[in-house]
Amino acid sequence: MSHDEDWVDVGAVDELEKRELQPVLAKRTRLALTYRAGKFTAISSACNHVGGPLAEGKLVGDYVECPWHYWKFHHATGRGEPGFESDAVPAYAVKVENGRVLVDLGSATRRHKSPHEQHPLARTPKREPGPIRIVGISTTAMTLTKERFSTSDNLLDEALAHAKSIGCDTRLVKLRELQFRPCEGFYSKSARACTWPCSITQMDPDDQLDQVYEAFVHWADVYLIATPIRWGAASSLYFKMVERMNCIQNQETIAGKHLLENKTAGFIITGGQDNVQGTAGQMLGFFAELGVQFPQFPYIAHSRGWSAEDMENNQRAVAESESLREGARALVDRCCAMARLMIDGTLVERAHVRGGRKAHRAGPRE
C-alpha cells in the first residue's frame, strides 16, 4: 500500500516532457521515465540482465531497450518483450500536479527474473583427469575451397601429429572455418557490460567463437597458436580472435575471476619477411595478461628476411626443413612439460590476487 509520503517529486513537467526517455532519481531509486502522447510512465532503470542502465537506452516501439545487451521492457508495465513477459522490472505510478512530475515509490510492482538457461560455457572450469590436451589454433586466412600450402599450418600439423604420438589428446581449430563477429567493445559501455561468456556469444547462436572459448577455458591444457607474419604482425584472424578474449581478461579485473587455470601457450610464427620477435612479443604479452604460462623458449619461428619476396622458395624451405620440424616437435615437448608441472604442482595461495595487470584498485576507494 502506498502513502502520500511515497510520492516523490522528480522534476518540472516543462523540462521532463522535452525527452521521450530519460533517467530520473526518486530519492535513491533510479528510474527510466518515458513521456509519450502527453503521458509520463516510469520503470526501474536497472535491467534484469546484469544491471544495465535502461534509462540510457532507447525506446523501441513500446519498449525500453537496454543499451548494454538490448533486453527490452515495456515502458509502462515493466514487463519483458513478447515471449519474455514474466521477466519484469518494477513499474511505478506517475502523476502530474502543479506542473511537477510525481512518482509513487510505494506503488512499485515486483521485479521478477525468469530463469534463463545458462550458457554451456558459463559452467565452472574444472580439469577432467586424463592426458595433456593440446588445442592447435591455425590463424592463417585462405579461401576454404581453395586451400594452399601454409608454412605455419604445416608446422602446426607436424606439432599436433607429434603430440598425438606421445599420447596427448589434440584438437585443431582453423579460425578461417569459423564464422565469428569482431569484438564490439561492450567494455567501452561499462566494464560490467563485458560479460563472461562473451556478450556476443550469449546473444548470437550463429557466432562460432564458442569453440575457441570452450577449448581455451574448459578443455585444453596447452594452446599452440600458429600464425603467418603479415605486415610485421600476426594475422588479422589472430587479432580478431584475441580481441574477443577481452571477456576473459575482463573477468580478472572486474570480478577477480580466474578462468584460465594452469594453461600453457606456445607459438609457431612463420613469415616470408621479418619481425619475428615483434610478432612473438605481442603474442606473449597478450597471453601473459590472460594468466597463461609459457615453457622455456615458447616459440619457434622461420623467416628468410626483409628482401625475400620469393614465397615459393620460402614454402619449400619450410616444407623441406627437418630442423623446423624438429623444432615444432620440441616445442610440443616443452609445452607438455610445463603443463604437467602446473597440473601436478601447487601454486602459492592468492597467486592471482590483483592479476590481469591491475596491480592496484583505481577510484575513490584509495
- Binding-site ranges for ligand FES (CB under 6 A): 47, 49-52, 66, 68-71
Residue closer to ligand FES (CB basis): 194 or 224: 194
Question: Closest residue to ligand FES, Cβ-based?
Answer: 52
State the minimum distance, in angstroms, from the CB of residue 113 to ligand FES: 12
Task: Select 69 or 240, whichever has its Cβ closest to ligand FES.
Answer: 69
Least gap, CB of 45 to ligand FES (angstroms): 10
C-beta of 33 vs 163, nearer to ligand FES: 33
Task: Name residue 92's beta-bridge partners.
Answer: 42
Residue with cell 619475428: 276
Q: How far is the CB of 83 from ligand FES (least distance, A)?
A: 15
Is the Cβ–Cβ distance between 252 and 163 less than 8 Å? Answer: no
Alpha helices in the chain (DSSP H): 13-16, 151-165, 186-189, 199-203, 210-213, 236-243, 246-255, 276-289, 311-320, 322-344
**Which residue has cell 616470408?**
272
Distance, in Å, from the CA atom of 266 to the CA atom of 152, rounded to the nearest integer, reads 13
Please provide the DSSP assignment of 276-330 as one string. HHHHHHHHHHHHHHTT-B--SS-EEEEE--TT---HHHHHHHHHH-HHHHHHHHH
- The minimum distance between CB 68 and ligand FES, in angstroms, equals 4
Please tell me the distance from the alpha carbon of residue 282 to that of residue 276, in angstroms, as a whole number. Answer: 10
Least CB distance to ligand FES at residue 16 (A): 23
CB of residue 116 to ligand FES, shortest distance in Å: 11
Q: Which helix (H) or strand (E) holds 39?
A: strand 39-44
Beta pairing partners, 270: 228, 302
* Residues paired with 173 in a beta bridge: 137
Between 80 and 298, CB nearer to ligand FES: 80
First and final CA of the chain: distance in angstroms?
A: 42
CB of 93 to ligand FES, least distance (A): 24
* Shortest spacing between CB 287 and ligand FES, in angstroms: 28
The neighbour count for residue 210, using CB atoms within 10 Å, is 20
What is the DSSP code string of 206-222?
T--THHHHIIIIII-SE
